Amino acid sequence: MKESTTLQTVGEIVAGDFRTAKVFEKYGIDFCCGGKFPLSAICKGKGIDLATIMLEIEAAKSEPHERSQNYAAWEPSFLADYIVNTHHGYLNENTGQIAVYVHKIAEVHGAHHPEVIEIAGIFDKIASDMAAHLREEEEVLFPAIKRIDAARKAGTAPEERDVEALKACLGKLNQEHDEIGDAVHTIRHLAKGYAIPGDVCNTFVVTYQKLKEFEDDLHKHVHLENNILFPKAAEL
């Protein structure tokens, strides 16, 4: 067992090698919003055998490495564009559709499954908060990161307004990530891990599948920002 790994935060481990993400997903360990805690502390809190998970982490690291997943090596500007094109694009295409599905099953199945009514309300707030969050990233934070990164490469001092924008955004957006992550975890809890009841229609099944897909995408999205892009930006 590598002691240095056990003392690393979960976010740092996944940032260093995204192949390890599947190990944490297997054990239900949050590596994005909750990725600020050391592996040893999380294992102790969840009752997970540290030696066992360490073996699985090392096994994951020995698998063939896809260059496309070496996010930690990407330049901040490139990573910001990737996040917009991949994860912001996913949210823009799917959030509205999922909201429609959630409200439909709340109307049809809410009497026998009241949890879906609560899920619909929570998802509405996520959708509203996420829209404002994405706008701030695309219109303020990411352009500031790109300009500061360009100044660094050119060997010149960045504009003070960009530095101030960066400082103001990082703390605020990190907090919003935590709030959105907590809301998504509440949905998972209400949905009992997206288990499908035996008395529901196909739309219910599709809705739970889409909610799980939404959560999975959010985990990777927030991980790339909290654990890789934001620390890189802070170093700039």
Give the tens place of pLDDT for each residue, 34-48: 678 888 888 888 899
| The two structure tokens encoding residue 6 | 């056990």
Q: Name residue 131's amino acid.
A: A
Is the pLDDT at 33 greater than 80, yes or no?
no
Q: CA-to-CA distance for 81 and 87, rounded, in angstroms? A: 10
> Cα-flanking dihedrals φ and ψ of residue 124, to 5°?
-60, -45
The pTM assigned to this predicted structure is 0.81
The whole-number pLDDT of residue 207 equals: 95
**Domain 3-69 -> CATH class:** mainly alpha
151: left (phi over 0), alpha (psi -120 to 50) or beta: alpha
| The two structure tokens encoding residue 189 | 């809890």
- Region 141-155 average pLDDT: 93
For 136-141, the CB contacts below 8 A with 24+ separation are 136/169, 136/172, 136/173, 137/83, 137/84, 137/88, 137/169, 137/173, 138/84, 138/88, 140/165, 140/169, 141/165, 141/166, 141/169, 141/170, 141/173, 141/233
Q: CA-to-CA distance for 48 and 197, rounded, in angstroms? A: 29
- Better-scored residue on pLDDT, 29 or 176: 176
- When the pLDDT of each residue in the chain is averaged and rounded to a whole number, the result is 90
Three-class DSSP category at 38: strand
Please state, as a whole number, how many other Cβ atoms lie within 10 Å of the Cβ of residue 129. 14
Answer whether 60's CB lies under 8 Å from 17's CB: yes
In the block, which residue shows the tokens 């400082």? 167
Is the pLDDT at 12 greater than 50, yes or no?
yes
Q: How many CA atoms lie within 13 A of 221 on its CB side?
A: 25
Query: Within its chain, how far is the Cα of 18 from the centroid?
Result: 13
Which residue spans of the chain are classified as CATH 1.10.3910? 3-69
